[in-house]
Structure 1
Amino acid sequence: MSDPSKRCLNCQDSFQNFQRPQGDALEFVVARVGVADSGKYWRCGRSGCRRVQNYFNYQDGFDLPPLL
């Protein structure tokens, strides 16, 4: 996984840098998809974006709660 740039549906379907969720965001992802699948989900790195999506399928994702 060398290219963190992926399409983000929340950012008008533009390419953004994604990173692994950390802290409370990671806890939310684990609660949503389970520990086994949590490593597949990355968070959009654009300021203000709360999108978390499957690294290999940009259409499989969800938004983090507003405070994360």
Structure 2
Amino acid sequence: MSDPSKRCLNCDDSFQSFLKPKDGALDFVVARVGSADSGKYWRCGHPGCRRVQNYFDYRDGFDLPPYL
């Protein structure tokens, strides 16, 4: 996966850099989708955005809680 730039629905459907979730965000993702699928979900790197989405399907995602 050489290009982490993906569409983000929360950022006006623009292309943003995505990063693997860490710490509390990763725990939230695992609780939501399970540990087997958690590696497919990446977090938007745009400051203030809480979107986590499937690396291969930008429509499959959710928001992290405000405290993460």
TM-score range, shorter chain: over 0.9
1:14 maps to what in 2?
14
2:56 maps to what in 1?
56
Task: Give the distance between the partners of 1:19 and 1:3, measured in 2 at CA.
Answer: 11
Question: Identity across aligned pairs (percent)?
Answer: 79
Task: Give the distance between the partners of 1:10 and 1:67, measured in 2 at CA.
Answer: 17
Q: For each residue in 1:8-54, what CA deviation from the matched residue of structure 2 results, as whole angstroms up to 9, or x when unmatched?
A: 00000000000000000000000000000000000000000000000
1:35 maps to what in 2?
35
Stretches (4+) displaced over 6 A? none
What is the RMSD computed on CA atoms of the aligned residues?
0.2
- Secondary structure in 2 aligned to 1:65? coil
- TM-score in terms of structure 2 length: 1.00
Question: Residue type matched to 2:19 in 1?
Answer: Q
Q: How many residues align?
A: 68
Q: Mind listing any 5+ residue stretches in structure 2 that lack a counterpart? A: none
- TM-score in terms of structure 1 length: 1.00
Question: Residue type matched to 1:21 in 2?
Answer: P
